[in-house]
Amino acid sequence: MTIMNFLDSNFFTGLITLLVGFSAIILYFRQKNDQKRDAAKLILQEIRYAEQTIRIAKEHGYNYYLANKLLPTNSWHKNINFFVHELKETDIDLISRFYSHSSYIDILIMKISDKKNEMLFIKKKPTGVSLPTPSLPIIPTSVPFSPIDPNVNTIISQEFELNSTNILRDVSEKVEFIYNTPAIDKLRLISEKKYLWFI
């Protein structure tokens, strides 16, 4: 093998290795950009849905439908690392605060749901049957109620107002809607950004 053949062989091997490495780097950054764009789209959807749910609850005295969650997924905290260089600190704080409030509302809704599942509802005694009156835990109530009717063996649950309900109303009133803010406009631009093949 001549020296020229040796050099040609090493040159082409090196060139192929360089091209493969360059292609791998391009693919890596493309995947990162795709992940960032997808995360931004999902975060926008979560914020829109949470705000809509809060608005509907507000129209009904902050009475949330217990089967719904404001944040079925929480993509912001999983993907915040994608946006630390794209958003200002104030923008990140604004979005983080919204997610924090919404997550806490979900916790309160779950607690209220659990308590309502444990509450006793009105149940008439069968005619001619004498049932003992169960001993009930003392629960603070905002509505005074009369002693248990001898024809009823449980208490009407609606007479009680859970402290969680008051906290839920208070937190909901303080949620700042952010979907139409400049911070979310930046996320919207990221979600719609078209990247060049080599960037």
pLDDT of residue 54: 96
Domain count for the chain: 1
Instruction: For residue 91, give every residue at least 6 positions away whose Cβ sits within 8 Å of its Cβ, in sequence order, or none.
Output: 182, 183, 186
Does 131 fall in a domain? no
- Please report the pLDDT score of residue 13 as a whole number: 73
Query: Is residue 69 one of the residues assigned to a domain?
Result: yes
CA proximity to 76, closest of 105, 101, 104, 46: 46
Q: Which residues contact 39 (CB under 8 A, 6 or more apart)?
A: 75, 78, 79, 82
Averaged in consecutive runs of 10 residues, what is the pLDDT profile of the chain (199 residues)?
57 70 68 88 96 94 90 93 93 97 95 82 61 50 47 48 84 94 95 64
Predicted local distance difference test score (pLDDT) of residue 159: 45
* Longest CA span, the chain: 113
Cβ atoms of residues 187 and 44 within 8 Å? yes
Contacts 24+ apart (CB under 8 A), 159-165: 160/119, 162/111, 162/112, 162/115, 164/108, 164/111, 164/112, 164/115, 165/112
Q: Is residue 132 part of a domain?
A: no
- Provide the pLDDT for residue 15: 66
Secondary structure, 3-state, 14-54: HHHHHHHHHHHHHHHHHHHHHHHHHHHHHHHHHHHHHHHHH
Residue 59 is classified by DSSP as: H
HSE-up (13 A, CA, CB side) for residue 74: 15
User: What range does the domain containing 174 cover?
Assistant: 3-126+148-192
- Would residue 142 count as lying in a domain? no
Q: Is residue 15 part of a domain?
A: yes
**Residues 95 and 183: beta-carbon distance below 8 Å:** yes
The reply to whether 199 falls in a domain is no
Instruction: Say what the pTM is.
Output: 0.68
Note whether residue 139 is domain-resident. Answer: no
Q: Is residue 141 one of the residues assigned to a domain?
A: no
**pLDDT recorded at residue 121:** 64
Q: Compute the distance between CA of residue 46 and CA of residue 43 in angstroms, rounded to an integer.
A: 5
